[in-house]
Structure 1
Amino acid sequence: MRQNEKKYLFEGWFSIYIPETWEYSVDEDLLTIHSKTNAQGVLQISFFHRKEIEESIRDTADKHLNKFLDQYDVLVDVNTYKIIESPYHIVATASGSYEGEFIKVWTIVNENKMLLVTYISPNKSKELSKATDIVYSINFDTRET
């Protein structure tokens, strides 16, 4: 376990490490995470079963990230669009501005599941680093549900 963090398991979906100074709430298929003190922004995770089984997980991650960016007219900052491959999942990510606020978006996809993650704050701040650490601590629960 990581120091000053607690591991949470959202059974059938994923595990995640959240700092002790942050808190979360769950509303159906939406997990909201934010700092308990002096919060700058909010991290939200939506979870879905992957329907595009016939396409690669890379294509699914890329498609859904672009769909979100287009749907919400996110102005993507130069050189922030990335696709990161790991042995267990694919992450597509970009950051920019949405309605005058800073936004970073991730789609995280494995063979059966997809997470859409957003971090929104009035400005890009140091808190983004902690939010990013939380996102990259996610590990899909690969047991059959």
Structure 2
Amino acid sequence: MEAVAVHSPTKHIEAVAHQVPPSGHIHDDDGRGLFSWMLSDTERAHMCKLLNLDETTFSTRTGFVFSREREVCTGCGKYSGIDDLIDTALKMRVHSAEFIVDSVLTGKPSPLAHSIDCSSCGKKHEGTFFWPPVW
């Protein structure tokens, strides 16, 4: 992917140009509308970098079910992703890296809603996101 320069009055941010990630609208047994967030190679690599892991660590993980659609960051245009959730959790010290890795690898969801910041430019996304249990 090509790097794109994003300018703001206070800082210069190097952001990665992102394609629209594959996703879909699904329903669980209770009829709730949920969304599948499929992982792109870029997002998977960024997750591994944030957690200081080998890039193959999450190679079998294809995606997640989330409570809402991905959002486009109003600061840099990056689509919200698991990498944003990981970056925010680590910066806020909400979860340890070990807990996050275990959750991603085992598919252990968290029904607790979190606000998240864009991992590219730091701008807060609107509303909250959560990874609901679907069983």
Say yes or no: TM over 0.5. Answer: no
Relative CO higher for 1 or 2, CA cutoff 8 Å, sep ≥ 6?
1
TM-score, scaled to structure 1: 0.27
More strand by percentage:
1
